Amino acid sequence: MVKFFEQTTVFNYTWDQVAQGFWHRYPNPNSKHVLTEDTVERKLTPSGQLISKRLLSKTNSIPKWAERFVHAALVNIVEESIVDPKTKTLTTYTRNLGYTKVMSVTEKVIYKESAEHPGKTLAIRTAWIDSQVKGFSRAICAFGYERFKKNCNKMVGGFDYVLANMFSNNPPVVNNVNVTTKLKDAAKNASELAKTKVPIYANLH
């Protein structure tokens, strides 16, 4: 049982502003659960890409029924990122550390200049939620998906708040017009993919 999540957001800021704001995302009014933030690795590639890895710790709110699987009050998160100023692309990859057999949430976000809306930035967020607990994986994935979806809106709102504070000349509003959310069952995807060999997402647009 695996669940996918996809969401596209348009930020009312240039890519340079979003890339600078990325390092200031915490704290914000929606991030009270984020307790610590550390840069554990950082390097420049010969082609001028900045690669960073940050370790975040967050409080872990879980429902009563899930307490039998996870006892930790805190969860550590690893965030990898690549900033490529030449192509104006920031790619981030976030995953939880530990308890990955109970529930693993892996998120990828690509921030890039919007071709349609010059001066604005697209954030294309995809996430993969998985659980390997026998008999409970469906319930755990469903819970993880719902929590992730709810948190996405908070993450976007929090980031937008930070950007508005840093670059107050822009209206502090996220253009939500193009926000789409998609959920699909991975097994179904895989079988459809095998049968059709047609890009699945193309059918949905």
Partner 1 sequence: MNSISEACTDLKREYDACFNLWFSDHFLKGNYDDSMCATLLKTYQQCVKKAMKEQNIDIYEVQRNLLNTEQEKTTFKMIQL
Smallest distance from partner 1 to CB 66, Å? 21
Residue (35 or 173) nearer to partner 1, CB: 35
Query: What part of residues 147-176 is at the interface with partner 1 (CB under 8 A)?
Result: none
Residues β-bridged to residue 126? 6, 108
CB 10 within 8 A of CB 117: yes
Quick note: the x/- pattern for partner 1 over 12-51, rule CB under 8 A, is ----x--xx--xx-xx------xxxxxxxxx-x---x-xx
To 10 degrees, the CA torsion angle through 160, 50, 8, 74? -70
In this chain, which of 57, 60, 89, 151 binds partner 1, going by CB under 8 A?
A: 57
Instruction: Report d(CA 183, CA 116) in Å as an integer.
Output: 25
Closest Cα partner for 144 from 128, 129, 126, 134?
A: 129
| Residue 106 makes contact with partner 1 by CB under 8 A | yes
Q: Which is nearer to partner 1, 173 or 183 (CB)?
A: 183
Nearer to partner 1, 5 or 64 (CB): 5
Helix (H, G, I), strand (E, B) or coil at 111: strand
The residues near 180 (Cβ < 8 Å, ≥ 6 apart) are: 6, 7, 8
Closer CB to partner 1, 46 or 63, in the complex: 46
Residues whose CB is less than 8 angstroms from the CB of residue 200 and which lie 6 or more positions away in sequence, other chains included: 184, 189, 192, 193
Q: Which two tokens stand for residue 74?
A: 């805190």
Residue type, 140: I
Residue 14: phi and psi, rounded to 5, are -70, 165
Task: Evaluate whether 174 touches 153 at the Cβ level (below 8 Å).
Answer: no
119: contact with partner 1 by CB under 8 A = no
Closest to partner 1 by CB, 126 vs 170, is 126
Binding to partner 1 by CB under 8 A, coded x per residue (else -) over 64-103, reads ------------x-x-xxxx-x-----x-x-x-xx-----
Binding site for partner 1 (CB under 8 A): 4, 6, 16, 19-20, 23-24, 26-27, 34-42, 44, 48, 50-51, 53, 55, 57, 76, 78, 80-83, 85, 91, 93, 95, 97-98, 106, 108, 126, 128, 186, 189-190, 193, 199-202
